[in-house]
Structure 1
Amino acid sequence: MEITQSRCSMDEYLIVEIMSRLPVKSLMRFSCVSKQWYSLTRNSYLINTHLRRSDSNLSLLSYTTILDRQLSTEFGISMLDDEADLVSLDLSFSNNYTCSESVKLVGSSNGLLCLVTEAHTNGAKSLDGVDIIIWNPATRRFRTIPKPVLPENINDCTKTGAYGFGFSDDNTNDYKLVGIFGNQVQVFSRSTNSWRQVEGKGFPSYQYYHRSEWTSLNGVLYWMAMTMTDGCFESFILSFNLCDEAFDVIQLPSTGVVWNSRLLSWKNSLACLCESNLQVWAKTTDDNTTLPWTKQFSFDSPTSSERIIGIWKDQVLILRLTSINGLFLYDPKTKKRGKQLPKRENYSYFDAGLVNYVESLVLV
């Protein structure tokens, strides 16, 4: 059943109108009815129409937990719904991986997640033990993409790379994965299923990347980065535009922003959360490179055993690393602690992150 916006009968139009308003879970049941229905759930017009109508105000909590009194860890992802309840997602790809491997969520775009798994061999990490997965939690479909081919002179630590994933909203309508390996930049295109090296216009050399601190917004990827200038380390934000594939350097707010500050998308703006003095700064216009940062709010510092994870509906999500380990919300306006989020019995949170998410039919 081939449906396009320009060539669509009334019956087909009504089918798309109805189906584009249904949850992905219901649509996936329809795909089992016949080959015709299966084909429809993979039709680009239905996929794009459904995506435009989906709830874009969801968040995903990715976390690593550690079993109490043991050393075994476990990676998980839960959806944070409108009531701040956690709904665990079934990691449909996880049967292929063991707890000896670490899993990192490196991108979220239009319902697709990009994850990187790293196998540890004698305490070392290299690209040989890396798998890169594109996964749609709603459809439960995933695939492992090919690894980039890197020069032999790049050391193992650099080979693990810093990654970013997003949608290139240009004429190609492509999903791209960017890998930064030392002074080399490679881009994977979903449409060609291949990597290519890019010169990286504006790419600064001799920098280090905080691999856990990234965000994406409106077709631009952002990483927290650091370089050495005159013998001193200097922190900054490195951006990469997925359309023109150009880099840019963004200076950090002048107050309290350090290497471990968090980057996030907040109210459709690039924001930086300064953990040292708990301030939130944001770029409140489309020009994220030249216009100044604006301080949005600040709040009382929690104890040294508490970490800021992200922002959910203007509330701050905090991870408490103590004997009463857990996640809770904090309202900076009322200065009151809010809801305590549940956690698995006998497990403690070790690390966590919060990303924007939308349920979709987008193909992997």
Structure 2
Amino acid sequence: MARLPAKSLMRFKCLSKLWSCLIRSGFFSNLYLTVTSRPRQPRIYTSLVYTSSADHAECDSMEEVCHNPGKSALLSLSSSSSSNSAESLNTDLTMEELGGHNMLVLRGLILYIVCRKAFIYNPATRQSVTLPAIKSNIFAQEDYWNTVDYFLGHDPVLDQYKVVCNVVRWSESLESLTSEHWVFVLEAGGSWKKIEFDQPNLPTRPGLCINGVIYYIALNRVYRDIVISFDVRSEEFNMIQAPLVGESMGFIEYGGKPTIFGYTHLKNGMVDLWVLEDGGKWSKKSLVLQASQLQLVNAGIIDLDHLVVQCTSQNGEIILAPRPMPSSCYVLYYDPQKNDLRKVNVSGIWDFDGVGMVYIYFRHMDKSESIVHLET
């Protein structure tokens, strides 16, 4: 039964209360995630947030778009290749009115933000939930920048999903920085709970959840880059000083550990991996691209100055994409194990009429589909 497609299991819930309870149970949902015999094609989900050309002049920043979100779409991309053509990512499903900013993917669930509110979507069950709005006094203070960031975590011991929210009030120079931290347990009757943490911080990169701990990179008044960790079960925060890497960096999972991927010197064929080891120590691994890869870099067909790390694939490849995305859409796959860099074209991103300003987020889906039943 655990080897059946998710679509079939959703239909079988109607057979009886017993079947419905079994399929919706946490035990069966976790069993379904661990069954690896079902063949799955590598898949990437893309959140496309855009304004129309007519509204483009009125929204000149992401902050304005968050308050005037315009339109959005969630695109499912699958890989295809043949002996006569290079690999490409093609749109096989478009879900309009879904998707938003700063999309995160964890255990088959997708979290995204629209107008400061968090939404969670399960592509396998087509179920979507909207988390309640946070009642923070920071939003009422308009004299500085106000931002909100969400992170999704899972506690493997208690089998609980939790959403962490960081609400920040800050000045451009960070002389004034205030933040609040809230936690929401994803279950029936859940509500936001404020968590005390005496280190105000401003997140700068999407978060990760590894073995029941959420990690994200942030700024504070003293350090430019710090790593904030949040234990999903104990609901405790910690702060770890990050190494000086540079502006061109991404935060990824590498070898089951939080890792900073530095690619400031990619044009010279060099990248760095800073791995957070046990005990809070960092180990550095420097890699030099092969000569064949340098041809791709030096040919001028990729925009090195605007590359952004998007995610990692289930095979451990780092996926980068230019921002803003050019009309000839593409992503880069970098495999640190094989030290291999390749370019993959993407189709279907611009198949929307009158698109003005666009924000695109690529996220690789986990190894398995999730049939977890979302409740709030």
Q: How far does residue 222 in structure 1 lie from its aligned partner after superposition?
A: 1.8
Contact 1:318 1:327 in 2 (8 A): no
- Relative distance call for 1:194 and 1:74 in structure 2 (3 A) is closer
TM-score by length of 2: 0.70
What secondary structure is seen at the aligned counterpart in 2 of 1:161? strand
Which residue matches 2:199?
204
1:136 to 96, 118, 122: 122
Q: CA 1:180–1:354 in 2, change beyond 3 Å: closer, same or farther?
A: same
2:24 paired residue number: 42
Alignment correspondent of 1:123 = none
8 A contact 1:104–1:115 mirrored in 2: yes
What's the CA shift for 1:273?
Answer: 2.1
Counterparts in 2 of 1:177 and 1:304: CA distance versus 1, 3 Å = same
Q: What is the RMSD of the two structures over their aligned residues, measured on CA atoms?
A: 3.5
- Name the SS of the counterpart of 1:234 in structure 2: coil
CA 1:359–1:213: 2 relative to 1, 3 Å: same
State the alpha-carbon separation in 2 of the partners of residues 48 and 315 from structure 1: 25
- Provide the residue aligned with 1:353 in structure 2: 362
Whole-Å separation in 1 of the counterparts to 2:51 and 2:138: 39
CA distance in 1, matches of 2:133, 2:49: 28
What's the CA shift string for 1:132-163, capped at 9, x where partnerless? 22221110112112122223686357664221
Amino acid at match of 1:236: I
Give the conservation status (yes or no) of the 8 Å contact 1:132–1:144. Answer: yes
Q: Where does residue 165 of structure 1 map in the other structure?
A: 152
Matched AA of 1:351: I
Cα pair distance change 1:363/1:159, threshold 3 Å: farther
Is 1:241 equivalent to 2:231 in the alignment? Answer: yes
Q: 1:68 to 1:324 in 2, by over 3 A?
A: farther
Once the two structures are superposed, the pairs formed by residues 271-310 of structure 1 within 5 Å of their partners are: 271-278=259-266, 279-283=271-275, 285=277, 287=278, 290-295=280-285, 297-299=287-289, 302-304=302-304, 306-308=306-308, 309-310=310-311
Residues in 2 aligned to 1:239 and 1:149: alpha-carbon distance in whole angstroms: 24
Between the two proteins, the alignment pairs up a number of residues equal to 316
Unaligned runs of 5+ in 2: 57-69, 82-87, 169-178
Q: Which amino acid aligns with 1:360?
A: S
SS in 1 for 2:321: strand
- Identical aligned residues as a percent: 20
1:68-147 to structure 2, matched below 5 A, reads 71=56, 74-80=72-78, 85-86=89-90, 88-89=92-93, 91=95, 95=97, 103-118=100-115, 130-147=116-133
- In the aligned structure 2, how far is the partner of 1:238 from the partner of 1:266? 17
The one-letter code of the counterpart of 1:218 is N
Q: Report the alpha carbon displacement of residue 79 of structure 1 after superposing the two structures with TM.
A: 4.8
The Cα shift of 1:361 comes to 1.0
- Give the Cα–Cα distance (whole angstroms) in 2 for the partners of residues 346 and 114 of structure 1: 24
| Aligned twin of 1:220 | 213
**2: CA distance between counterparts of 1:296 and 1:78?**
34
